[in-house]
């Protein structure tokens, strides 16, 4: 199994970099309009992007999403990401640590993150389906989970909820019954705060409440509209000649709740939210925060940059930060708390969905916060 996982990790990276794995459906960020302030009364240079997440201050609200590990190629990527996270004061995740739990030789491909980023907020990563017994392997024990945390001296643990990916992955883990119970037990026992993290299909209202009841400290709403794990598996299936799996992966490419919608839906749980999925600029970061996110995750853009060089990651970050600051200045928000109080006009499909789901009043309030 070791080699299988290792091989899959490599394929995930190469496929993601070589194929279009974004969903064809519009992410919906274009439906989110910040209202321009002609005289913003804020100096661009003094815009303050510091965020507080789970009690820690971060220099900016961008998270480098969980992406990789478990393969020598991944080590360079993780090193580049971690160096940048350290320099810019970001939070960052590692990819699923199963590979290293199964094969200790792979530990350094994850541990490199802490080596390079001693001060950063680092997030361990374990799959929700692996919290229970699966057909092909038993549930992780608490001690294994603790091992994953220790491996990178993590500040928090992300439990990624990827039922869609497992379902469309040829060798995927198809069981999900009992995960909530296992998660509830885990949050009670584990030493760091737990983040429940979707990987591209979004978290709705009811699931946000369920996750809160399971004791998670934060939710990454991981919505549709960015990298699609289903499209990723479709591309892998095609490269293996598995036509049917490829078609199923393609069909489910559009499945899921777009990130901005998930953000509003999950908001009712009152937990800190990370908005991930299709965020492609500092302007999108600003939109997500104005809709209520505490942090904003980006995956693919960082993967691409880090596969080139550390410098590219820094460039991407600087550009993103500049874009975020411009959005903040022009919206009249000197800091992130103010950004959560600016007027936001939501239109298009995003509005149609939310209105039908009972959020029409909330949308009106969002559009008229300054009145």
Q: Which of residues 73-102 bind ligand FMN (CB under 6 A)?
A: 95-96
Distance in angstroms (rounded) separating the CA atoms of residues 320 and 286: 10
Contacts of 74 by beta carbon, 8 Å cutoff, 6+ apart:
9, 10, 13, 68, 95, 109
Among the residue ranges 11-19, 55-63, 166-174, 314-322, the one whose residues contact ligand FMN (CB under 6 A): 11-19
- Nearest Cα to 99, choosing from 54, 33, 144? 144
The b/e string for 154-170 (b: 16+ C-beta within 10 A; e otherwise) is: bbbbbbbbbbbbbbbbe
Letters for 216-245 (x = contact with a second copy by CB under 8 A, - = none) are: --------x-------------------x-
Q: Using an 8 Å Cβ cutoff, are 148 and 109 in contact?
A: no
Residue placing its CB nearer to ligand FMN in the complex, 271 or 303:
303
Q: DSSP label at 254?
A: G
65 near ligand FMN (CB under 6 A): yes
**140-179 residues near ligand FMN, rule: CB under 6 A:** 158, 160
Among the residue ranges 58-66, 76-84, 94-102, 313-321, the one whose residues contact a second copy (CB under 8 A): 313-321
258 near ligand FMN (CB under 6 A): no
**195-214 residues near a second copy, rule: CB under 8 A:** 196, 198, 201-204, 206-207, 210-211
Among the residue ranges 2-10, 91-99, 233-241, 351-359, the one whose residues contact a second copy (CB under 8 A): 351-359
Total number of residues that touch ligand FMN (CB under 6 A): 26
**30-59 residues near a second copy, rule: CB under 8 A:** 33, 35-46
Report residue 11 as tokens. 């394929």
Distance in angstroms (rounded) separating the CA atoms of residues 255 and 234: 13
From 78, 109, 125, 130, residue interacting with ligand FMN (rule: CB under 6 A): 125
- Nearest Cα to 15, choosing from 319, 306, 300, 311? 300
Q: Give which of ligand FMN, a second copy, none residue 84 binds (C-beta under 5 to 8 Å, depending on kind).
A: none
**62-91 residues near a second copy, rule: CB under 8 A:** none
Residue placing its CB nearer to a second copy in the complex, 100 or 203:
203
From 84, 161, 186, 234, residue interacting with a second copy (rule: CB under 8 A): 161
Residue placing its CB nearer to a second copy in the complex, 3 or 360:
360
Q: List the beta bridge partners of residue 344.
A: 34
**Matching residue, tokens 């069981």:** 175
Among the residue ranges 45-53, 62-70, 110-118, 361-369, the one whose residues contact ligand FMN (CB under 6 A): 62-70
Distance in angstroms (rounded) separating the CA atoms of residues 186 and 193: 10
**Matching residue, tokens 């022009």:** 330
Q: What is the DSSP string of 303-340?
A: HHHHHH-HHHHHHHHHHHHHHHHHHHHHHT-SBHHHHT
């Amino acid at each position: 199994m070791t080699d299988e996982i290792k091989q899959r990790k490599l394929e995930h990276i190469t496929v993601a970099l070589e194929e279009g794995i974004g969903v064809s459906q519009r992410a919906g960020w274009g439906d989110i309009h910040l209202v321009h302030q002609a005289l913003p009364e804020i100096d661009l240079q003094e815009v303050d992007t510091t965020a507080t997440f789970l009690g820690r201050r971060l220099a900016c609200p961008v998270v480098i999403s969980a992406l990789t590990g478990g393969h020598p190629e991944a080590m360079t990527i993780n090193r580049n990401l971690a160096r940048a996270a350290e320099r810019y004061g970001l939070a960052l995740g590692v990819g699923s640590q199963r590979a290293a739990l199964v094969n200790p030789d792979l530990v350094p491909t994850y541990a490199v993150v802490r080596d390079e980023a001693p001060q950063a907020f680092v997030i361990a990563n374990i799959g929700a389906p692996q919290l229970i017994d699966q057909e092909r392997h038993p549930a992780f024990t608490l001690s294994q989970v603790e091992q994953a945390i220790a491996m990178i001296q993590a500040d928090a643990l992300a439990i990624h909820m990827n039922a869609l990916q497992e379902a469309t992955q040829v060798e995927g883990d198809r069981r999900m019954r009992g995960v909530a119970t296992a998660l509830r037990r885990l949050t009670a026992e584990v030493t760091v705060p737990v983040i429940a993290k979707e990987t591209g299909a979004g978290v709705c209202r009811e699931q946000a409440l369920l996750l809160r009841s399971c004791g998670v400290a934060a939710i990454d709403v991981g919505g549709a509209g960015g990298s699609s794990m289903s499209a990723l598996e479709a591309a892998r299936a095609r490269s293996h000649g598995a036509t049917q799996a490829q078609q199923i992966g393609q069909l489910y490419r559009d499945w899921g709740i777009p990130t901005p919608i998930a953000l509003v839906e999950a908001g009712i749980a009152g937990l800190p939210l990370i908005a991930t999925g299709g965020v492609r600029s500092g302007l999108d970061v600003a939109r997500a925060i104005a809709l209520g996110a505490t942090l904003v995750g980006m995956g693919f853009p960082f993967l691409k940059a880090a596969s080139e060089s550390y410098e590219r990651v820094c460039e991407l970050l600087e550009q993103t930060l500049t874009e975020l600051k411009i959005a903040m200045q022009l919206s009249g928000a000197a800091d992130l708390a103010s950004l959560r109080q600016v007027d936001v006009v939501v239109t298009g499909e995003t509005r149609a969905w939310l209105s039908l789901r009972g959020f029409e009043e909330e949308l009106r309030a969002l559009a008229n916060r300054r009145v």
